[in-house]
A and B are shown apart, each in its own frame.
Chain A
């Protein structure tokens, strides 16, 4: 006893790093996730799809006697559901043949029975009670990764719910899914089944579309009561616990409720039903007249069915109200600027749609300031900048289709990845980076904290990968990469007056390539003219191969990064001073920044 005390005292004297135990909530949340994952994983099976080229999918044991629920469409052979389907249970090498009990086209599901499989079924939850913002766990296969071992798990939150009179019709979850996860069960943190993953991509990218389990049960009730009986009854509602696992949902929901009033949908151009698409987006290059005709016909046929925004690619997004008297901030690209302007409108949550005009733009920040004729619009309270750090919890809001419709904005949850990001776009930018899914329509929406206060404006920077350092890497438009960026409110406050005054800012183009040396950038190549055929800044300033650029605008340029930052505050048209070394002699020259 005494000895332990001495040892302890001695240990205390050692310069140990900060506290080693995770205090309550992180551990409590982790335990809940692990417990749920542990209980669900044995109930998840691999369903072998008949067609080569399709990845195998996932199914879940929902009742005693090996009753399995999975999705239907990949199992079809010649348009028909086969009588039997091979399935593989976790950690077993052999497949078992399961008979098809029933199938339902409406919900795109199949009920199978694998005789002789003694697997404890998954615990059934209440999908009608699913809330926006609550934690969910997706358990399933990924690209057939699960062939030799247990299924994988992914954590996410319910990002929005679409309802009809019968309750939830389907919901999105931000748990990331892949081809193999079709048919995967989605469970809450009690491990109770709430839905089945039916598709993997939505306009919001990377997320799952989940079919509520109660819907499935209702569908079979009318189709095949015997099978419906196998699917059981919904359990009684569960009590809300003052536990961290149950806490995120209500908090996010409340934050979304507070913030959604200032979120708008922004659309420009847009193709009406039957309208010639080419009028809005132009024909693909080098198309013959005959093909143009066919192109128009085809587009006329499919336009009504297309997801809004998918056609013109980038004409719909979200925006944020920044001034009560009709000022709206939106992604530049979504406004159609600078192309021939077609109708630009802003949709409000209350259903109002107003014409908007572009007042100011900043290409460097990729934003446009719009004005609509309105008064007394709701403006969000800014979040205190001081509390924000890597690891802070945030929610990205926006409309996945670029317009509110009836639904609340989609809310994707994440953490702040870092602050002071994207300095190379503008040194004052100091953007907030988050791993909350930002893609497609929720670009331009607000990033909020858990009190519903405004952290920043979500930027449209998906294309940084393309123009950035990795030439080969590109996220397709609308695809989430886990990198979202927001312009902090205090930074935006500095830019707003200039935009309100009608400023249009574009980044300048220097036109050199070079390598960093201790003294500055050694010029290796000079581009003579920009995209418009005008001389580049470098050409105008008389820079030559072999020169060393020492400073730009008074800021030293010892690395490419420093050069970028030195240039970033200037817009094209600004006069900038360059200092360079040629044959050891320092030369100063002032030149006008050319556009790219």
Chain B
């Protein structure tokens, strides 16, 4: 392997290394080395330049509502990244980036901030969200069908692009270079579990979430979303959802505006069987797997034609699929082997506790009184009235005491907020107020809280 021909060069190398700073590589070598590194740099720059226009910085505005004063508004609460994946302006990002957003804007490298709407997402369990951008006819994009994350191996060059810490808000994304550290990783956070994720040492920080991971060809191979960190800053362990997994969701998402395309629900709880395979520990009643006849104690050894040796392998195959996908299982029961198949259900079918807070209307769909208030003992007084909205239209003024809204006598702020949160904008009712010791009653049309907050829809 080490040919004798190269001996003279060895001596030169010894000179370099032992002589520390005094002896250096001979000039021709340095020139050659520089040539190589320059070429490497130029190639990398070209790949980065090619994909830059399709990478965007996401701003997430939350609606704010102060129940103590009645003040409404929007507040910039978070940043993220994302990628334009179609000429028509479909934009891929993480669910946790656009969480509870009242307004979303996406800045591209042309320096313009575009309005975006949430088109569809994976719901609470997954982390894939599809946005639709507005404001242009044709968009620069990267082809999400080109990259193949399955072909990645540890050591492949990858680079991440995005908006770490909200620094790239003007739209020019930041690029960080690294390699694939591992693949088929399972990483979880409180809310999400990434199954079959790509692990990279390309520096990923808060704000990189939703941003693309590219390979050396500039192919879109994953969406960054999680990092392993105790401090919130990078530790060299970042995770991306592989593009192959995302692709299964994009087509149904593009068809189903405003609805979830959730990860598939099967209802199986498995462990690793001693004999190899996934041992079914429990099956949810009424779940797709139960309907297909899978029972506790069955040992699954094949899923969709792929052998599964343990629990991880089973999870890696099944938990990456979207709802409605067909799953074929081969399993052992006693001495028999059986095969069955079923369509994955939606995560919404999974037994879980519904959160009561989800029932009330979100702020941007709530009615707005057009006033701010304060409570003095058992009385609610208006402190500021917006001339153009609800209360202002009804000629109420600051200092008025609110007596009744509809048929309810108002005795506390909590009560008022509760009522408002269940009414829709445009709702007509009557309002009673007390001014200079006299109580009057007048008709009122409640306004739109979102409009008042400055939310663009």
Is B283 in the interface zone, CB < 8 Å from A? no
- A20 touching B21 by the CB < 8 A rule? no
Number of B positions contacting A (CB below 8 A): 94
Chain B CB within 10 Å, residue with most, of A41, A257, A419, A433: A433
A151, B237: Cα distance in complex, Å: 13
- A239 touching B13 by the CB < 8 A rule? yes
Residues of B204-236 whose CB lies within 8 A of A: 204-207, 216-217, 228, 231-236
Is A251 in the interface zone, CB < 8 Å from B? yes
A237, B185: Cα distance in complex, Å: 38
In the bound complex, residues from chain B placing their C-beta under 8 Å from that of A246 are: 33
User: Are A145 and B199 CB-contacts (below 8 A) given A152-B182, A176-B236, A469-B165?
Assistant: yes
Q: Which of B40, B164, B168 contacts A244 (CB 8 A)?
A: B40
- B41 touching A391 by the CB < 8 A rule? yes
User: Are A479 and B231 CB-contacts (below 8 A) given A34-B155, A131-B16?
Assistant: yes
Is B193 in the interface zone, CB < 8 Å from A? no
In the bound complex, residues from chain B placing their C-beta under 8 Å from that of A482 are: 164, 176, 203-205, 233-234
A35, B154: Cα distance in complex, Å: 9
Is A143 in the interface zone, CB < 8 Å from B? yes
Count of CB-CB pairs between chains A and B under 8 Å: 312
Q: Which residue of B lies closest to A143 (CB)?
A: B228
- B179 touching A153 by the CB < 8 A rule? yes
A239, B13: Cα distance in complex, Å: 7
Contact bitstring A121-152, B, C-beta under 8 A = 1, else 0: 00000101111000001000011011011111
Q: Which of A129, A464, A483 contacts B13 (CB 8 A)?
A: A129
- A422 touching B9 by the CB < 8 A rule? no
In the bound complex, residues from chain B placing their C-beta under 8 Å from that of A96 are: none
A10, B199: Cα distance in complex, Å: 39
Residues of A374-417 whose CB lies within 8 A of B: 389-393, 408, 414-417
Q: Which residue of B lies closest to A129 (CB)?
A: B17
A163, B33: Cα distance in complex, Å: 25
A351, B13: Cα distance in complex, Å: 29
Q: Which residue of B lies closest to A256 (CB)?
A: B21
Is A49 in the interface zone, CB < 8 Å from B? no
Residues of B6-51 whose CB lies within 8 A of A: 6-7, 9-10, 12-14, 16-18, 20-21, 24-25, 29-30, 32-34, 36-41, 43-50
- B168 touching A418 by the CB < 8 A rule? yes
Nearest-CB distance from B210 to chain A (Å)?
15
Is B170 in the interface zone, CB < 8 Å from A? yes
Nearest-CB distance from B339 to chain A (Å)?
27
User: Are A473 and B30 CB-contacts (below 8 A) given A29-B157, A250-B25, A524-B73?
Assistant: no
Number of A positions contacting B (CB below 8 A): 106
Nearest-CB distance from B5 to chain A (Å)?
9
A167, B14: Cα distance in complex, Å: 12
Is B421 in the interface zone, CB < 8 Å from A? no
User: Are A128 and B155 CB-contacts (below 8 A) given A22-B216, A247-B33?
Assistant: no
- A421 touching B165 by the CB < 8 A rule? no
In the bound complex, residues from chain A placing their C-beta under 8 Å from that of B185 are: 145, 149
- B235 touching A421 by the CB < 8 A rule? no
A419, B239: Cα distance in complex, Å: 26
A517, B113: Cα distance in complex, Å: 14
Contact bitstring A223-263, B, C-beta under 8 A = 1, else 0: 00000000000001111101110111111011001000000
A515, B206: Cα distance in complex, Å: 23
In the bound complex, residues from chain A placing their C-beta under 8 Å from that of B206 are: 470, 473
Contact bitstring B231-267, A, C-beta under 8 A = 1, else 0: 1111111000000000000000000000000000000
Is A178 in the interface zone, CB < 8 Å from B? yes
Is A273 in the interface zone, CB < 8 Å from B? no
Binds A, one of B74-82, B124-132, B394-402, B409-417: B74-82
- B179 touching A33 by the CB < 8 A rule? yes
A519, B24: Cα distance in complex, Å: 63
In the bound complex, residues from chain A placing their C-beta under 8 Å from that of B201 are: 153-155, 175-176
A254, B25: Cα distance in complex, Å: 9
Is B172 in the interface zone, CB < 8 Å from A? yes
Q: Which of B10, B33, B235 contacts A236 (CB 8 A)?
A: B10
A415, B157: Cα distance in complex, Å: 13
Residues of B149-165 whose CB lies within 8 A of A: 153-157, 159, 164-165
User: Are A479 and B233 CB-contacts (below 8 A) given A391-B44, A522-B454?
Assistant: yes
- A435 touching B177 by the CB < 8 A rule? yes
Q: Which residue of B lies closest to A485 (CB)?
A: B167
A242, B9: Cα distance in complex, Å: 11
A247, B167: Cα distance in complex, Å: 33
- A130 touching B170 by the CB < 8 A rule? no
- A257 touching B184 by the CB < 8 A rule? no
Is B67 in the interface zone, CB < 8 Å from A? no
User: Are A415 and B164 CB-contacts (below 8 A) given A20-B217, A408-B21?
Assistant: no
Q: Which residue of A lies closest to B201 (CB)?
A: A154
Q: Which residue of A lies closest to B186 (CB)?
A: A148
- A178 touching B234 by the CB < 8 A rule? no
A481, B75: Cα distance in complex, Å: 26
Interface of B is mostly: mixed
- A26 touching B231 by the CB < 8 A rule? no
In the bound complex, residues from chain B placing their C-beta under 8 Å from that of A421 are: 167-168, 172, 174
Contact bitstring A445-456, B, C-beta under 8 A = 1, else 0: 000001000000
In the bound complex, residues from chain B placing their C-beta under 8 Å from that of A297 are: none
A422, B178: Cα distance in complex, Å: 23
- A250 touching B166 by the CB < 8 A rule? no
Residues of A48-101 whose CB lies within 8 A of B: 93
Is B2 in the interface zone, CB < 8 Å from A? yes
- A390 touching B52 by the CB < 8 A rule? yes
Chain A CB within 10 Å, residue with most, of B7, B153, B178, B236: B236
In the bound complex, residues from chain A placing their C-beta under 8 Å from that of B41 are: 391-393, 450
Nearest-CB distance from A476 to chain B (Å)?
6
Is B312 in the interface zone, CB < 8 Å from A? yes
Nearest-CB distance from A288 to chain B (Å)?
31
In the bound complex, residues from chain A placing their C-beta under 8 Å from that of B232 are: 465, 470, 472-475
In the bound complex, residues from chain A placing their C-beta under 8 Å from that of B327 are: none
A380, B207: Cα distance in complex, Å: 35
Contact bitstring A15-56, B, C-beta under 8 A = 1, else 0: 001101111111101100111111001000000000000000
- B10 touching A237 by the CB < 8 A rule? yes
- A468 touching B166 by the CB < 8 A rule? yes
Is B93 in the interface zone, CB < 8 Å from A? no
- B155 touching A239 by the CB < 8 A rule? no
Is A516 in the interface zone, CB < 8 Å from B? yes
Residues of B176-196 whose CB lies within 8 A of A: 176-182, 184-185, 187
In the bound complex, residues from chain B placing their C-beta under 8 Å from that of A35 are: 155
Is B175 in the interface zone, CB < 8 Å from A? yes
In the bound complex, residues from chain A placing their C-beta under 8 Å from that of B164 are: 481-483
- B454 touching A154 by the CB < 8 A rule? no
- A37 touching B154 by the CB < 8 A rule? yes
Nearest-CB distance from A433 to chain B (Å)?
6
- A22 touching B47 by the CB < 8 A rule? yes
A104, B173: Cα distance in complex, Å: 48
A63, B201: Cα distance in complex, Å: 29
A308, B372: Cα distance in complex, Å: 56
- B181 touching A237 by the CB < 8 A rule? no
In the bound complex, residues from chain A placing their C-beta under 8 Å from that of B21 are: 257, 408
Nearest-CB distance from A59 to chain B (Å)?
18
- A389 touching B45 by the CB < 8 A rule? yes
29 contacts across the A-B interface (CB closer than 8 A)? A17-B50, A23-B39, A25-B36, A30-B155, A38-B153, A143-B237, A145-B237, A149-B312, A152-B182, A153-B155, A153-B181, A155-B179, A178-B237, A237-B13, A244-B36, A247-B37, A250-B30, A253-B25, A391-B44, A408-B21, A414-B177, A415-B44, A420-B170, A450-B37, A469-B79, A479-B233, A482-B233, A483-B167, A546-B384
Given contacts A24-B43, A153-B180, A546-B384, 16 further A-B contacts (CB under 8 A): A17-B50, A24-B39, A25-B39, A25-B43, A33-B155, A38-B153, A126-B17, A129-B13, A152-B154, A155-B178, A257-B21, A391-B45, A415-B159, A473-B165, A483-B205, A561-B170
What 5 A-B pairs come out closest when comparing CB atoms? Answer: A176-B236, A482-B203, A34-B155, A37-B155, A239-B6
